[in-house]
Amino acid sequence: MDGRAMSLAAAMPWETWPELQLVWPWWLLALPLPLLALWLLPAVRSHAAALRFPHAARLSEVAKLGGRGRPGRGPGLLLWLAWALLCVAAARPQQLGEPVQPPQAGRDLMLALDLSGSMQEPDMSLGGRPVDRLTAAKAVLADFLDRRAGDRVGLLVFGRRAYALAPLTLDRESVRQQLQDSVVGLAGQETAIGDAIGLAVKRLRERSDGAGAPQDRVLILLTDGVNTAGLLDPRKAAELARDSDVRVHTVAFGGDGVMSVFGFKLPMPGGGDEIDEATLRAISEATGGRFFRARDTEQLAGIYDEIDRLEPVERPGPTLRPRIERYAWPLAAALVLAVLSLLLAGWRRQ
C-alpha cells in the first residue's frame, strides 16, 4: 500500500461504518431459554407395550448406516439459528442514518387585502389588458403564496369592517381559494385600516398562544385609500402590533388617476384616489416593517418579491440523525430458516 492509500485509509474513521444499536437489548436474555427447557423439563416416557422385533441385529446395522448423515442435526441447527434471530429481532435493532438538517418554518404570515369600493377602478394592466385593482392584486398575491411553502398563512379582508376569511394554516390552497372568491364591497365600501391591523394582531397572537410563540409574526397590508371607518385608529393599531411583536409591511396600491387605452393615457373619471402614505409609512416604521408604493402591477409584483426576500420562508433547523428500523432483517431470516428446517426434516423422513 503506497503512502496515498494509507492516508486515505487513515482519513476514514470507524464512525463511517453503519451504527447499530438495540432498543430493547434485554430480549437477548431469552437466547438460552430452549436449553433451559430441555434441561429442566423431563423427557416424556411412554407406558405403551413395547414391540418385539425378531431381527434386532439387522435393524441396528441399518441405523448405523443412516447415522452417517446424522439425521436431525441439520434441522435442529437451523431452528436454533432461527430462535437466535427472533431474539435479535425482538431486541429491535436500529441504525443511525446520515445527519440531516430539516428546514424550520419561522413565520406566521397574515395578508390583509382592501376590498373597498375604490379597488374596482380599472387603472391597472395585466397581460396587456386593462383590469381593476383587485384583479391585479389577486394575481400578484397568488404568485406570492406559491413561494410561501412552509409558512402558516392567513387572509383577512377589510372595507367598512375587517373579516378573517382564512385562519393561519399551512394549506395555502384554501387561502388561495378564499382570495379568488373575494369581491369588491364584500366587507363594505369604506376603509377600516386600523380595525384590519387590530384583527390581524389578535389572530396572530391567538395562534401563537395555542401553538407556541413563533419566531416571527408578520402582517402585509395592501390598501388604496385612507382610513375612513372602523373603531381603531391606525396609529394606535400600530402601537398594538409593536407591543405584540408583529411586524407590519404596508403597501399603498393605486394609479395616478389615468387609464391606458390603446397606448394612450386617459384621465379617469373623478381623478386619482387619495392615499394616506404618511400614516402607512408611520405604521411600518413603528413596527419595524417597510412601506411600499405601487402604481402599477409590475411595481406591485416587485414589492412582493422584495417582501419575499425580507421575510425568508425557511431557516435551517437543528441537525438530526434519523433512526432506521432494522428488525425486519433478522425477522425475515428467522422465517426463512424455520421454513428450511421444516422442509429438510420432511425430506429426511422420506
Encode pLDDT of 64-123 as tens digits: 544 444 444 555 788 888 888 998 989 889 888 777 665 555 578 999 999 998 898 888
Encode pLDDT of 203-216 as tens digits: 998 865 444 444 58
CB atoms within 10 A of CB 127: 7
What is the band of 157 on the pLDDT scale with cuts at 50, 70, 90? very high
Query: Looking at residue 306, what is its pLDDT?
Result: 87
Geometric angle at alpha carbon 38, from 35 and 40, rounded to 5°: 105
Higher pLDDT residue, 267 or 344?
A: 344
Average pLDDT over residues 189-217: 79
CA distance 335 to 82: 7
Query: Looking at residue 152, what is its pLDDT?
Result: 86
Beta strands in the chain, from DSSP E residues, in sequence order: 20-22, 93-96, 103-105, 107-114, 124-126, 129-131, 152-158, 162-169, 216-223, 246-253, 258-261, 264-267, 291-294, 314-316, 323-325
Query: Looking at residue 53, what is its pLDDT?
Result: 54
CA distance 223 to 227: 9
Query: Looking at residue 242, what is its pLDDT?
Result: 94
pTM exceeds 0.85:
no
> 55: burial class by Cβ within 10 Å (0-12, 13-18, 19+)?
exposed
Query: Looking at residue 70, what is its pLDDT?
Result: 44
Encode pLDDT of 29-58 as tens digits: 988 888 887 777 766 665 555 556 565 555
Side chain identity at residue 146, one-letter code? D
Task: Report whether pLDDT(322) > 70.
Answer: yes
Encode pLDDT of 253-262 as tens digits: 886 554 444 4
Q: What share of the chain is helix, strand, coil (3-state, %, to 5)?
A: 45, 20, 35
> CB under 8 Å to 119, separation ≥6 — which residues?
132, 133, 134, 137, 184, 224
- Cα→Cα distances 26→116, 324, 334, Å: 70, 20, 19
CA neighbor of 238 nearest in space, from 297, 182, 280: 280
> 255: burial class by Cβ within 10 Å (0-12, 13-18, 19+)?
buried
Indicate the range of 70-79, 156-165, 228-237 predicted with least confidence: 70-79
Tell how far CA 253 is from the center of its chain: 34
> What nine digits make up the cell of 5?
492509500
Indicate the range of 29-38, 165-174, 194-203 predicted with least confidence: 29-38
CA neighbor of 143 nearest in space, from 120, 172, 182: 172
Cα first-last separation, the chain:
56
> What nine digits make up the cell of 297?
402591477
CA distance 195 to 307: 23
